[in-house]
Structure 1
Amino acid sequence: MKPDWSVVAAIESKAATLLSSNGMVYKGGKFPWPAKGELTGVFGENRGDHIHQGVDIAAPSGTPMYAVADGVVKISKADPGGYGWYVMIDHGGGVTTLYGHMYPETVKVKIGQRVSKGQMIAQVGNNGRSTGAHLHFEVRQNGKPVDPLQWIGK
């Protein structure tokens, strides 16, 4: 009997739709700071071999980092050439945030998990391409990095 690949294609299409539309809708407003610390790097800095696509917040290793808005964890994995272990949260409406340089054992969330604004997601680390303990934080709109300082409240 020959398999009906149209059924498989329909299931894959439905799964892709569900994964890309997590049901979250970003409601607007300013984000809180994702961690307590000192701003040490800004968006758009020329770092020689790349342009910095987020902000860096220096803090001692182990400092909690928090989700800046309700969302669904989209990625939690290693990027040894850059972010170290990082987490990306989808807030809906094309808005995602990325948190980098933590150690995997400090991550408190899993892919697919819904998180709430202010929920601890991990701890600051010094993993990946990093010269000291800090949180690398990005905001992306429709996949394109934008200046996080335009999104973070005072």
Structure 2
Amino acid sequence: MPAVTELEERTLLPPEPDTRDQEELSNLLARLPREEKARLVGPDGTETEIPDEVYRTLRQVIDALVKGKAITIAPHDTMLTTQQAADMLGISRPTLVKLLEKGDIAFEKPGRHRRIRLADLVAYRDRARERRRLALRELTQEADDDGLYDTGTGFVPTR
């Protein structure tokens, strides 16, 4: 297995592009079976069957590293700063603070600074995604009901 750089305990950086390590990771990903029951083999040869979800997650980690992406693995009880949480959601820190103050995301304030539990942030993100999916579904249904999908090219003639 290729060496992977470790940064701050839980962040794995991808191997440098066009190196032997990246090629080994790519080959490993290509050889991994998709449907068999997965087993973890220790250095001493001991084999342990692993759950399908763990196997799929390991495949995703390897795939991300092959694509040059860094991976961070953190327990759900990890506490995040407001900046870390905002970065994870892809929003500004002031926007995140507004969500916290509205009560959309649970947080703790052990001192002067707010801390957000990773599990609470993930739950909010999932709720927000589901709300967006429902809204898009409703808009699509309304457009279909109004016959907007049957109106030709969608371009409005200007002359």
Q: TM-score range by the shorter chain?
A: under 0.3
- Highest Rg: 1 or 2? 2
Identify the structure with the greater helix proportion. Answer: 2
Identify the structure with the greater strand proportion. Answer: 1
TM-score (norm 2): 0.20
Q: Which has the higher contact order (CA 8 A, sep 6+)?
A: 1
